[in-house]
Amino acid sequence: MRTEQPQVIHLKDYKAPEYLIDETHLTFELFEDHTLVHAQLIMRRNPVHGGGLPALVLDGQQLELVRAALDDEPLQAGDYQIDAGSLTVQPRAAQFTLDTTVKIHPETNTALEGLYKSGKMFCTQCEAEGFRKITYYLDRPDVMSIFTTTVIAEQHRYPVLLSNGNPVGSGPAEDGRHWATWEDPFMKPAYLFALVAGDLWCVEDTFTRQSGRDVTLRIYVEPENIDKCDHAMVSLKKSMRWDEEVYGREYDLDIFMIVAVNDFNMGAMENKGLNIFNSSCVLARAETATDAAHQRVEAVVAHEYFHNWSGNRVTCRDWFQLSLKEGFTVFRDAEFSADMNSRTVKRIEDVAYLRTHQFAEDAGPMAHPVRPDSFIEISNFYTLTVYEKGSEVVRMVRTLLGAEGFRQGSDLYFERHDGQAVTTDDFIKAMEDANGVDLTQFKRWYSQAGTPRLEVSDAYDEAARTYSLTFRQSCPPTPDKAEKLPFVIPVELGLLDAQGNDLPLQLAGESSAVGSTRVLSVTEAEQTFVFQGIEARPLPSLLRGFSAPVKLSFPYDRDQLMFLMQHDSDGFNRWEAGQQLAVQVLQELIGQHQLGQALQLDPRLLKALDTVLGDTSLDAAMVAEMLSLPGEGYLTEISQVADVDAIHAAREFARRQIAEHLFEPLWTRYQANRAVSRNTAYVASAEHFARRSLQNIALSYLMLSVKPQVLEATLEQFEQCDNMTERLTALAVLVNSPFEAERAKALESFAEHFKDNPLVMDQWFSVQAASTLPGGLARVKALMQHPAFTLKNPNKVRAVVGAFAGQNLVNFHAADGSGYRFLADLVIELNALNPQIASRQLAPLTRWRKYDAARQALMKGELERILAAGELSSDVYEVVSKSLA
Ligand code: 0A1
Ligand code: ZN
């Protein structure tokens, strides 16, 4: 809970630490009703500062100080000051040793930050500022130290004792206890510290580094999950090889460990040599995890592994630099996934996610630059902007420099800053120095919030045979800044002739064409590019591969979009043309609904989708992506004022029309793909993901027809399949269907079968919470009474509350405000249990500006009620107060 007035921390106030910690020696004595932490810190005055010995202020929260000594002399009460957030002592020399012992209570820690218990095991989460809940320390990323950790616990309950680095000793202790000591030879900040104690089993493998040395790999899980680790292990080995091949980065310790825990606030954590994972991001096997879950495991394992270089060996100077490690690492994991699976499909998924969620954040009250200027609670800044937009910024650097130049830049960055805590400016400087370029203007992507708009118009001059494109960029005001300076926007493009072929591209002033797809740098508020030698008016394909995170507009008509859908040589832009066509058609339906007119679907959308369905040369996953209409969340994001009911009605109408008019081709493709699935054992590979994704989207359309043969097929798939992807889709299709008896029976048999598997039950919860059938809130409340539900487990909260407020928009935004009231009550309750989760669940309420006046009033009313609830954590306080500002 917030114990003092919330303080705003500013980047401009950064000051190097007064003292450094060369060595950190920790001993943990774990008991059932408390834990003792002994810390010995070998410290010295930071030489970057002048003389004098200012007071030493160590961070510490919720710690009971048992003992403190300075250079072996016990400190008496008057020798130090303690307040809610710190311990202050006065050093007497430039070098000294500080010993402390504190008592803490992991057994009652429901915030899941610091040392806590997940089920029967002890584990830690220290990023960003959790270490201060473990011991008094300089808990900031620019204080790096060598850690030695001893863990002492009851042998029987906690046979496995782990920490960072290499194991250096272990043995029995008194009273049925035992100990283990770990030494991490690499300097690291406290946020990378980790400790685990529990009754765990592990799968073990080895990886041989390019340079020849072996690394031991271990994945630790609770015994019942030992059969669900293979996919993560394979993913880990692929990641290690990929980082060697693509970035020239080898692993550095003799052992790399992953531990799966059930109670975890985020996806996973890159602690040095000892990654701790939300079990949902490690455990996967065909029977219990979907294709999406398999891909997520592969991506998160890679992400955490890649942090070993982009984050651990080179870390952040302060938390404003978070995107230094997160944006870069998301970019690295996205490229890894693209290399392992379908590159175009991965890009489509990422862009759809960015445009729905990050663009909404960038347009809302919590909008902030990729490198924020200030915060109250750093936990609130693990955002889509820092992660996903941050990754887009790194991607643009690569687009501008080319793959080779980018690699030279990253080599220089790692070499120059190994072992240091640095800034995003240092990252860009390495890119500049390695390539001899000036990225000063480009750096505005780090300092200016908001999503730029890029309006494009064209002109064709028949006499001169020139074609010109004019770009106008602007960026809406955000809470931090009203006026924005122009960005550097890399626009990758091509020009299509009447046959759909890319034309050679020769800009005015160039002596010959330079390729048929190229990157233009738009750097001014308005800028025109002229192409020469163009025989007839071409059709531009703009922002290929989504080369910049902007809102692009060009006045395409629907026939032109259909043409691009079929002919664009850029797979991403073929999909994008289909999306834009669907957006135009859906917006027309929304308008009709608002005017009370009968809905009339433009048949061109049906024709375009029919063509896609009939194109057997197209990758099945691409067909599935192109059949997916833009989501309600995206349609909300691009509306001035989102009409929730009209959006839902329009989209559902279009889906039904598609099901009706394209029943035959959908049925054919469903049956063909289901037949293959029926006769093929599950494989987690791109080709198999593709088949199942087409099969499953086809089934979800087909069910809208309510035909008996589709019900029969759904039940057959539900009962006979060998994997969770097919089973869960069949269940979701039934849950959203009018077949009540079949729905109830399927839900019951699923729950009976999987009741002991919490991750599968999360899926069972979330398909129901996301069902847009009427009565959503009542269903959600009933789900929360289910014995498998608990507010203490973040995955359960996300599965029920997150799915309801984030995906079930018609029900959450019910006009009577019942959804809002429910969420506010929940946030107030969660605030006391787990502030980070409470604050994340709040996001949908903060978007009130998007809705009509009546809903705005209801949403704001709930935010005000939360604010008045008192005893707010800094996490919740910051989000609520900024949303109301
Ligand atoms: N660094 C981790 C994410 C993470 C951040 C904060 C956490 O607790 C508040 C936990 C994990 C990553 O990017 O994977
Ligand atoms: Zn990360």
| Three-state DSSP class for residue 806 | helix
Rg (CA), the chain: 28
Task: Using the atom order of ligand 1, give the atom closest to the CA of residue 326.
Answer: 13
Q: Which residues pair with 540 in a beta bridge?
A: 495
CA of 531 to the centre of ligand 1 (A): 47
| Three-state DSSP class for residue 877 | helix
Residue 150, CB-side half-sphere exposure with 13 Å CA sphere: 16
Q: Which residues pair with 36 in a beta bridge?
A: 29, 103
CA distance 659 to 703: 8
CA of 329 to the centre of ligand 1 (A): 12
Sign of CA dihedral 383, 384, 387, 392: negative
- Residue 265 CB less than 6 A away from ligand 1: yes
With cut-offs at 50, 70 and 90, classify the pLDDT of residue 870.
confident
pLDDT digits (tens, 9 = 90+) for 409-430: 999 999 999 999 999 999 999 9
Query: Contacts from 445-448 at CB under 8 Å and sequence distance 24+?
Result: 445/370, 445/393, 445/396, 445/487, 445/488, 446/323, 446/369, 446/370, 446/371, 446/393, 447/369, 447/371, 447/373, 448/369, 448/475, 448/481, 448/484, 448/485, 448/487
* Closest CA to ligand 1's atom 12: 269
* Closest CA to ligand 1's atom 6: 127
State the residue for tokens 């095991």. Answer: 121
- Look up residue 645 and give its amino acid: D
* Closest CA to ligand 1's atom 3: 269
pLDDT digits (tens, 9 = 90+) for 496-537: 999 999 999 999 999 999 999 999 999 999 999 999 999 999
Residues in the chain: 885
pLDDT digits (tens, 9 = 90+) for 348-357: 999 999 999 9
- Reference 305, options 268, 262, 342; nearest CA is 268
- Look up residue 752 and give its amino acid: E
- Residue 563 CB less than 6 A away from ligand 1: no
Residue 314 pLDDT > 50:
yes
Ligand index nearest the alpha carbon of residue 331: 2
Query: Contacts from 399-404 at CB under 8 Å and sequence distance 24+?
Result: 399/490, 399/492, 399/519, 399/547, 400/437, 400/439, 400/442, 400/488, 400/490, 400/519, 400/521, 401/431, 401/435, 401/437
> Where do runs of H (alpha helix) occur along 169-319?
230-247, 291-306
CA of 644 to the centre of ligand 1 (A): 33
DSSP 869: T
Are residues 151 and 165 in contact, defined by beta-carbon separation less than 8 angstroms?
A: no
pLDDT score, position 212: 98
Residue 86 pLDDT > 70:
yes
Residue 331 pLDDT > 60:
yes
pLDDT score, position 713: 98
pLDDT score, position 50: 84
Are residues 351 and 388 in contact, defined by beta-carbon separation less than 8 angstroms?
A: no
CA of 267 to the centre of ligand 2 (A): 9
pLDDT digits (tens, 9 = 90+) for 558-606: 999 999 999 999 999 999 999 999 999 999 999 999 999 999 999 999 9
Mutate to test the pocket of ligand 1, among 269, 281, 319 (most ligand atoms within 8 A of CB): 269
Helix (H) or strand (E) holding 65: strand 64-70
pLDDT score, position 3: 47
CA of 802 to the centre of ligand 2 (A): 21
Task: Using the atom order of ligand 1, give the atom closest to the CA of residue 125.
Answer: 8
pLDDT score, position 444: 98
pLDDT digits (tens, 9 = 90+) for 359-384: 999 999 999 999 999 999 999 999 99
- Reference 129, options 414, 319, 323; nearest CA is 319
* Closest CA to ligand 1's atom 13: 326
pLDDT digits (tens, 9 = 90+) for 42-61: 999 999 998 899 999 999 99
pLDDT digits (tens, 9 = 90+) for 248-257: 999 999 999 9
- Residue 332 CB less than 6 A away from ligand 1: no
pLDDT score, position 4: 56
- Residue 388 CB less than 6 A away from ligand 1: no
CA of 769 to the centre of ligand 1 (A): 26
CA distance 546 to 392: 9
- pTM of the entire predicted model: 0.99
The mean pLDDT value of the chain amounts to 98
pLDDT digits (tens, 9 = 90+) for 601-633: 999 999 999 999 999 999 999 999 999 999 999
- Residue 333 CB less than 6 A away from ligand 1: no
| Three-state DSSP class for residue 472 | strand
With cut-offs at 50, 70 and 90, classify the pLDDT of residue 6.
confident
Query: Which tokens in the block code for residue 392?
Result: 């887009």
CA of 428 to the centre of ligand 2 (A): 19
CA distance 70 to 87: 13
- Residue 270 CB less than 6 A away from ligand 1: yes
Cα angle at 403 between 401 and 407, to 5 degrees?
90
Residue 306, CB-side half-sphere exposure with 13 Å CA sphere: 27
pLDDT score, position 36: 99
- Between 390-417 and 322-340, two packed helices, what is the crossing angle to 10 degrees? 110
Mutate to test the pocket of ligand 1, among 382, 840, 875 (most ligand atoms within 8 A of CB): 382
- Residue 127 CB less than 6 A away from ligand 1: yes
- Reference 531, options 574, 497, 579; nearest CA is 497
pLDDT digits (tens, 9 = 90+) for 810-863: 999 999 999 999 999 999 999 999 999 999 999 999 999 999 999 999 999 999
Q: Which residues pair with 116 in a beta bridge?
A: 123
- Look up residue 367 and give its amino acid: A
Mutate to test the pocket of ligand 1, among 134, 266, 304 (most ligand atoms within 8 A of CB): 266
Q: Which residues pair with 255 in a beta bridge?
A: 216
- Between 230-247 and 291-306, two packed helices, what is the crossing angle to 10 degrees? 50
Task: Using the atom order of ligand 1, give the atom closest to the CA of residue 379.
Answer: 9
Residue 2 pLDDT > 60:
no
Active site residues: 304
* Closest CA to ligand 1's atom 2: 269
List CB contacts of 170: < 8 A, sequence separation 6 or more: 161, 178, 179, 180, 181
